[in-house]
Structure 1
Amino acid sequence: MPHPMPYPVRLADEITRQLGQLSDHLSQLPPSQAVQVIARVLDPDDGVLGGITHLVTTGSMFAKDQAERGALPPEVWLALGRASNDLHDVALDLDEHHDALRRIGSMPAATAPAPSAPAPLVVRRRR
């Protein structure tokens, strides 16, 4: 008799499925609602990106412990650590735009400001 899948594995599968559903919905939403969803996903305190960053950081700490015991190759820990750092940096870059997204997402569609001219798609980033 096969062993039932542990709850955390089922939870990870369900979260993955729901993220796919959210992506599908996002692609079909009107702009004002899409901005609301994006703002919630990127919320630094309660958003999906912050949750995923925390999850990868936790995974990195687990991998470090396991690598020190010899159960995992050190490269696994290093890769998870890099991913955690990169996600944190991305979250910081996006955090500076969170207020603008929230503000635009809370405006009624009729009053949302229309750009007076096309915005350039290449912007220099500060580091």
Structure 2
Amino acid sequence: MKKQPEKYWNIRLPNKLSPPKTPIDLLNLPCLGYLEQTIATVIIKSLTVTGTFKPKFPFLSIQASALIYMAYHLKAYNTKKQCELISYLAEKPTVRYKPPEYNVKYETFFVLRQNVPTLNWLT
């Protein structure tokens, strides 16, 4: 049998459509499936950054240093909560008017200053 590709050179192929995406109901997934669908990529990115940077804090073990660095990374790159506290406080409020939430955010900033990780911070 001889191949004859010249017979088919002008045939138009049908347009193929991918099947429609259905949203996943996260509440009905098993625990492992839920974690895979929600936080797997975030954890992988955090592990990659931690492995690349290889943090070592003084007086802490390598495991504790990596856990603290990973916790800070997850907190810093939280997509559900934007940390705009410092930029908000850096704007110079006028003497006459301060938004009502300014004092609350100002106090929150100084409370966060006292949060220093300790040896049993992650337990």
Flag whether TM exceeds 0.5 (same fold).
no
Q: Specify which structure has the bigger relative contact order, considering alpha-carbon pairs within 8 angstroms and separated by 6 or more residues.
A: 1
Larger Rg: 2
* TM-score normalised over the length of structure 2: 0.29
Indicate the structure with greater helix content.
1
TM-score, length-normalised on structure 1? 0.28
